[in-house]
Amino acid sequence: MNTKSVDHLIVGAGFAGLCAAIKLQEDGETDFVVIEKGVDVGGTWRDNTYPGATCDVPSQLYSYSFAAYDWSNSYSPQPEIQDYIKRVAAESGTLDRFVFDTPVDDATWDAGTERWTVTTPNGVWSARFLIVAAGGLSAPKLPEIEGLETFQGDLFHSAQWDHDVDLSGKRVAIIGTGASAIQIIPELQKTLEATGGHLDVYQRTAPWIIPRNDRPYSRLERLALRRLPGLQKLYRTGLYWAHEAYVPAFTIEPKIAAPARKVALKNIEKGIKDPALREKVTPHFAFGCKRVLRSNTYYPALDADNTELVTDRIVKVTGNAVVTDDGVEREVDVLVVATGFYTTELPFTEHITGRTGQTLADRWRETGMAAYKGTTVPEFPNLFMLVGPNTGQGHTSMIFIIESQVAYLRDAIRTMRRDGLTALEPSQADTDRWNRSLQKRMERTVWTTGGCQSWYLDEHGRNTTLWPRSTVDFRRRLSSFDVEAYS
């Protein structure tokens, strides 16, 4: 196979990969390719097509700073977000450099040529820079439940919704009550109620849920947002500061969360009449320890006659039934698992081999998931990870973080060109210092002290996924490339 040579190889065509492509092009860095395993742009928004899929971050924030859109609602539904990403991609003039339907099998640093060799079933590329934008929530995780693989009905993960399965009149069960499940459950409940079907919801841990306050924009608002230059930006800034002022503070000081906790308890009271059910859905851990969810429709859906909330532990799946530890077997035609993603052992890292011959996955098995500024890794020269370790957000838009990381990457490339540098990696000492400081702060946060298990924490209880300060702080720290931290 011929090896194609490019300056930059970007893995992934979601929000992060597309942002990198557009901004590199803006800098005249046009010699790049974007390799994408799926058949379209969109990443998580292409894949998550489950009923009710909507963003729980306001639409004005959950969009690029450089590309406005005529959003229909204050929170955008998945089809609009996917349409937005497709439009931005098409209008950017970068799509001719995207290679779809192409999983990356291997990316190995070649110390001789100081380049990455990237192997795929559709060709081999040699690239000076490897930009990994493969997503932090892109590998669906099935629950470890005995007999699940032998289930005799239809079974699928929330991120791989099987739209060919007709749910009318069926007995459906859903495992999980996280961000995806609480969007799916009201939709399933309505469909099944209208067709004589039934829904079982298996809850392991009750989440904190505040009202969603979603509303359609009026025609006037949409017109104003389209026509008045600066209004969208003003909206963004206002919303942004509203989010930033509150959330990073309460992760450290639980007292500050008390009013929001009250609102969440009121949400239960308002949505559910049955006192026993209210009790079952009341969380027993600190507000904010897991991602705080938003819904007005979830609790009423649980309270509906055709829904049963099951809180007994699942012990196994046999034939077409889910069996709980009270010995009850509930038969079911369709089983939906909304059980989340691999978040602290990112499967894609198995495919990246650095300067010492060790894969990134193996390195992180030893050190825990850790990077310098969430973006670069010692022993992995010229590798930039977008949405890397400790860059995640539980309360605001990841796109702000992505744009900050892309700005850092652009400055790194400019610096290297200016100074005639061919390969750079962060020093171990700077990387350790960065992570020590992060982890020190983590110890005081509600994510560690709040008495819950969440996907934020690794097997040692370390939070390697979230950024513990404000996103403005993150942007400031990545505002210029600090070449002195690199060797």
Residues that bind ligand N01 (CB under 6 A): 55-57, 137, 143-145, 158, 175-181, 202, 204-205, 291, 314, 338-341, 453, 455
Per the CB < 8 A criterion, the answer to whether 455 and 462 are in contact is: no
Instruction: Please count the helices (runs of H) and the strands (runs of E) in the chain.
Output: 14, 18
Tokens of 129: 């820079």
Q: In the complex, what is the shortest distance from the CB of residue 386 to ligand N01, in angstroms, rounded to a whole number?
A: 16
Largest Cα separation within the chain, whole Å, is: 69
Q: In the complex, what is the shortest distance from the CB of residue 137 to ligand N01, in angstroms, rounded to a whole number?
A: 5
Q: In the complex, what is the shortest distance from the CB of residue 291 to ligand N01, in angstroms, rounded to a whole number?
A: 4
Q: Which is nearer to ligand N01, 144 or 149 (CB)?
A: 144
Q: Which is nearer to ligand N01, 56 or 193 (CB)?
A: 56
Q: Which is nearer to ligand N01, 128 or 290 (CB)?
A: 290
Q: In the complex, what is the shortest distance from the CB of residue 250 to ligand N01, in angstroms, rounded to a whole number?
A: 17
Residues of 7-35 as b/e, b for ≥16 C-beta within 10 angstroms?
ebbbbbbbbbbbbbbbbbeeeebeebbbb
Residue nearest to ligand N01 according to CB distances in the complex: 178
Q: In the complex, what is the shortest distance from the CB of residue 281 to ligand N01, in angstroms, rounded to a whole number?
A: 12
* Cβ contacts of 450 within 8 Å, gap of 6 or more: 254, 285, 286, 287, 288, 289
Q: Which is nearer to ligand N01, 264 or 416 (CB)?
A: 264
Q: Which is nearer to ligand N01, 53 or 438 (CB)?
A: 53
Nearest to 14 by CA among 69, 72, 62: 62
Q: In the complex, what is the shortest distance from the CB of residue 71 to ligand N01, in angstroms, rounded to a whole number?
A: 14
Please state the length of the chain. Answer: 487
Q: Which is nearer to ligand N01, 33 or 155 (CB)?
A: 155
Q: Which is nearer to ligand N01, 55 or 383 (CB)?
A: 55
The CA distance from 155 to 315, in Å, is 17
Can you spell out the DSSP letters for 132-197?
Answer: E---SS-SB-----BTGGG--SEEEEGGG--TTS--TT-EEEEE--SHHHHHHHHHHHHHHHHHT-
Q: In the complex, what is the shortest distance from the CB of residue 44 to ligand N01, in angstroms, rounded to a whole number?
A: 8
